[in-house]
């Protein structure tokens, strides 16, 4: 297993892997009955899938929109379009990330003695 990376790794905290992040999205998709379209829009908006519970409380709080409609409205406001140009299912995103990780493992970047800076 690779070493942790990023700012939090130096502080000894747990660093989430890309697979763990996608697992949170897959769990939210099942729990809140969201389509691949809504998951992709929410990911592009930068929403946190762990916070969907508070956003999806439209039965007890009738002024709230249902979660899929809320995501679509936020996407429309931010990007001025109804939907992404191409919808990529979450399983395909995971497959691409695994392939990318394998490619990086096969072809690690070469290191130089001067830290990557030109002399």
Rounded to the nearest 5°, which phi and psi values hold at 38?
Answer: -70, -35
Q: Is the pTM of this model over 0.75?
A: no
pLDDT of amino acid 2: 52
- Given pLDDT bands bounded at 50, 70 and 90, which one contains residue 20? confident
* pLDDT higher than threshold 80 for residue 16: no
User: Model confidence over 81-112: pLDDT tens digits?
Assistant: 999 999 999 989 989 988 888 888 888 776 55
In contact, 39 and 92? CB cutoff 8 Å: no
Question: Which pLDDT score is estimated for 117?
Answer: 62
Is the model's pLDDT at 44 over the cut of 60? Answer: yes
Residue 46 in this model has a pLDDT that exceeds 90: yes
In sequence order, what are the residues at sequence separation of 6 or more whose Cβ sits closer than 8 angstroms to the Cβ of residue 91? none
Per residue in 51-80, pLDDT (tens digit) is 999 999 888 999 999 999 999 999 999 999
């Amino acid at each position: 297993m690779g070493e942790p990376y990023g700012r939090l790794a130096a502080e000894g905290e747990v660093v989430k892997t890309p697979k763990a992040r996608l697992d949170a999205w897959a769990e939210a998709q099942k729990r809140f009955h969201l389509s691949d379209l809504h998951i992709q829009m929410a990911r592009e908006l930068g929403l946190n899938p762990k916070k969907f519970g508070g956003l999806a409380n439209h039965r007890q709080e009738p002024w709230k929109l249902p979660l899929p409609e809320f995501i679509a409205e936020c996407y429309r406001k931010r990007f001025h379009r109804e939907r992404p140009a191409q919808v990529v299912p979450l399983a395909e995103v995971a497959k691409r990330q695994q392939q990318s990780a394998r490619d990086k493992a096969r072809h690690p970047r070469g290191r130089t003695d001067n830290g990557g800076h030109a002399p």
